[in-house]
Amino acid sequence: MKELVQKFRFRKIILAIADAFIVVVAALISNFVLSLWNHGVSQHIMVISITVSVFCCIMSLFMFEAYNKMWRYFSWKDYLSCVYGIVVGMAASCIFVYVIRGHIPMLYPILHCIMTILGVCLFRMLFKRTFIELIECGRSDAKNKRTMIVGGGRATGLLLGEIEHAHTSPNQNDAPYKPVCIIDDDPNKIGTKLRGVPVVGNTSEIQKYAKQMKIEQIIFSIPSCLK
């Protein structure tokens, strides 16, 4: 289960489903609160609004790359992309419902948007905590230094192969490193894996990931040395 949750695509699906559920729950709660002051919307508008808002919000979150950063540990910029995605998605769904129905009480979409933002951000905080705990559970080989490799080219592939070979050798002292992440400036490589090690960011983020992932050793891989 731990390995499944750590997979990028699986986490992507989890968050998308969770976001859709949050949008639905936020709509129901918003309408219930407003109905206490006789400002609720009809059941027919609710059904249309929920259906459209779920679709628009998920598409908008994809557009703002809220799901492309899940392997990161969710910085404030990641939360901000979620806020942008929800606001734009809610605005689009509100316009769509208005076109269909001709009117919609403005208190409802405003409250719905606020509650959805709170729900999505809160879930990501919990998701982040759970993900980090799962990673911590996998740190059984404390004798090997948690290592960051700068450079995701051919040299790094060969280096990782040598480290894997050393880990299987009788003398475990030959493998003092445990590669946990790779840094590379090629945006096409970010989010991918090289021999099972994720490429998490570019060189401007070395300090950020070194702190978040508790890096003990940094190795600079220079492709030119192989020529």
Q: Is the pLDDT of residue 90 over 90?
A: yes
- Alpha-carbon gap, residue 201 to 181, rounded angstroms: 9
For every residue of the chain, which 3-state class applies, written as one string?
Answer: CHHHHHCHHHHHHHHHHHHHHHHHHHHHHHHHHHHCCCCCCCHHHHHHHHHHHHHHHHHHHHHCCCCCCCCCCCCHHHHHHHHHHHHHHHHHHHHHHHHHHCCCCCHHHHHHHHHHHHHHHHHHHHHHHHHHHHHHHCCCCCCCEEEEEECCCHHHHHHHHHHHHHHCCCCHHHCCEEEEEEECCCCCCCCCEECCEEEEECHHHHHHHHHHCCCCEEEECCHHHHC
Q: Is the pLDDT of residue 11 over 80?
A: no
Give the pLDDT mean for 81-100: 92
Q: Give the homologous superfamily in CATH for domain 145-226.
A: NAD(P)-binding Rossmann-like Domain (3.40.50.720)
Where in the chain are all domains bearing CATH 3.40.50.720?
Answer: 145-226
pLDDT in tens, 209-223: 988 888 888 888 765
Q: Is the pLDDT of residue 28 over 90?
A: yes
- The chain-wide mean pLDDT, for the chain, equals 82
pLDDT in tens, 125-183: 887 777 666 555 554 444 678 899 999 888 888 888 888 877 666 555 556 788 999 99
What is the reported pTM? 0.58
Give the pLDDT mean for 91-107: 86
Confidence of residue 4 (pLDDT cuts 50, 70, 90): very low
Residue % of the chain over a pLDDT of 70: 81
Give the pLDDT mean for 87-112: 89
73-77, 93-97, 116-120 — most confident range: 116-120
Neighbours of 26 (CB within 10 A): 25
| Higher per-residue pLDDT: 147 or 75 | 147
Question: Which among 77, 79, 97 has a CA at the least distance from the CA of 27?
Answer: 97
